[in-house]
Amino acid sequence: MQLHQIFPQFDLTLVTYLEDIGQVVWFKEGDIIMRPGQYFKNSLLILEGRVKLYREGDDGEEFFLYYLEKGNACALSMICATKNETSAIKAKAMTSVKALAIPIQHMDRLMKDHRQWYYFVLETYRGRFSELLEVIDHVVFHSLDEKLEFYLKRQFESLGNKITITHGEIAEDLNSSREVISRLLKKLESQKRISISRNEVVNLKF
């Protein structure tokens, strides 16, 4: 499983315990891993692949929050699992995903007996909270073209300088229309900041 290589901050005792209590699970591309209102039975440590997290509105609209990738865990699942609360987000596998599922009944012991897990949970939660504050700032205080630039910057930082994504998917993530997003992408392309082709956006100057 090479858990220690993926999570080098964990000592051998913690790695051994996680491997004993955890179960390796697989998800196919497009699988919905978590839905709003669903109870957490496990907390997932991502070993391979990419998971996309959304916030879903009352009318079914979706707003992109962040990705979980190799070496990440979902802070929300860690917190809600220990309090037996339901999910407020939707999680979807964007590629095939391999993860280690840690049953929630072990969370209390992990927090009490393994200081490295305790710090991992705090750092995971702190990092996501800071990221979400940045997202909220751009959603509330910036225009759509600025939101798009911020969105693309996050995508490039996470996925590399060439991302495979449709104009429609970007529009869904930003709660806009495909036509508006296409127009703004063409504007960025005319400024030579990106290059766009079918289902692909390339970073030139971000």
Please say if the pLDDT value at position 136 is more than 80: no
d(CA 185, CA 144): 11
198 pLDDT tier (thresholds 50, 70, 90):
confident
d(CA 159, CA 94): 12
Do the beta carbons of residue 77 and residue 40 sit within 8 Å? yes
pLDDT digits (tens, 9 = 90+) for 57-80: 666 667 788 889 999 998 777 777
DSSP 70-133: TT-B-HHHHHHHHHTPBP-SEEEESS-EEEEEEEGGGHHHHHHH-HHHHHHHHHHHHHHHHHHH
d(CA 12, CA 60): 44
- Within the chain, all domains assigned CATH 2.60.120.10 are found at 3-139
Q: At what angle do helices 115-141 and 144-159 cross, to 10 degrees?
A: 150
- Within the chain, all domains assigned CATH 1.10.10.10 are found at 142-203
Q: What is the CATH number of domain 3-139?
A: 2.60.120.10
DSSP 20-68: HH-EEEEE-TT-EEE-TTPBPSEEEEEEESEEEEEEE-TTS-EEEEEEE
Strands 200-203 and 50-56: unpaired
Compute the residue count for the chain: 206
88 pLDDT tier (thresholds 50, 70, 90):
confident
Q: What is the CATH number of domain 142-203?
A: 1.10.10.10
Please say if the pLDDT value at position 138 is more than 70: no
Both tokens assigned to 152? 């693309």
